[in-house]
Amino acid sequence: MNRALDLADPALHESLTRRVEAVRALLRTIAADFAPAAFACSLGAEDMVLTDLIIRDHLPIEIFSLDTGRLPAETYELIDTLHKYYGLKLRLFYPRHELVERYTRENGINAFYDSIELRQRCCFVRKVEPLQRALAGRKAWITGLRASQAATRAGLPLRSFDADHGDGGLEKFNPLAEWSENEVWAYLKLNKVPYNALHDRFFPSIGCAPCTRAITPGEDIRAGRWWWENPEAKECGLHVKRP
């Protein structure tokens, strides 16, 4: 989390109040006008904000997550905490075993370190393909993406049409697109929302264990993801439009 956060800052409270009201209104619209809609929860800090808001307002939006099979122990602990804290039985989608077996047999268990191509293929097997199944039959999907998270997410829209998922495409919403890191953490702290313990150990962005490390002061918040690659390549494919 951001250790410079001042929870008593009136300006922060004012901006957060506006942000929350806007997101709650958007989520209600999605639930009413784009059913069935689903929230793809990555279990990161931003996604805990949306999880809390969806559950607090009892919205008919399914919350699901992708279990790649290589998540950190702390992420599994958070899944268990969500069940105990909210009563949330998080729906998990897993990779197809035959695809994982083929990938590791042909390339090795940690082949994603060898090239961007092999890393992206691993992400496809463990994330992209399961997401395609998770979004089948949906009219909209919701993410916790923020524009300031990475160079690849600059100009992130609040809403767009995703032609690559669903049955012929669906609407994609990024309700936190314009939120700051401070606003995310202020919401979590002020509302006592559970979050991944790794965030307190300098892991601002958390994915699979082998592809995530802690960052040092001054590094970009996505520096710990696929740290051996250039910033412009740091996406797993979930949010990259196919040509």
Residue 10 burial by Cβ neighbours in a 10 Å radius (0-12, 13-18, 19+) = exposed
pLDDT in tens, 177-195: 999 999 999 999 999 999 9
pLDDT in tens, 204-236: 999 999 999 999 988 888 889 888 887 765 565
Going by pLDDT thresholds of 50, 70 and 90, the confidence category of residue 243 is very low
> What is the pLDDT, as a whole number, of residue 228?
82
Q: How high is the mean pLDDT of the chain?
A: 91
Does 211 participate in catalysis according to the annotation? no
Least confident of 18-27, 72-81, 148-157: 148-157
Q: What is the pTM of this model?
A: 0.91
Over 80: is that where the pLDDT of 153 sits? Answer: no
Over 90: is that where the pLDDT of 140 sits? Answer: yes
Of 231, 178, 210, 130, the residue nearest 20 (C-alpha): 178
> What is the pLDDT, as a whole number, of residue 155?
76
pLDDT in tens, 45-70: 999 999 999 999 999 999 999 999 99
Task: Taking residues 156-166, report their average pLDDT.
Answer: 90
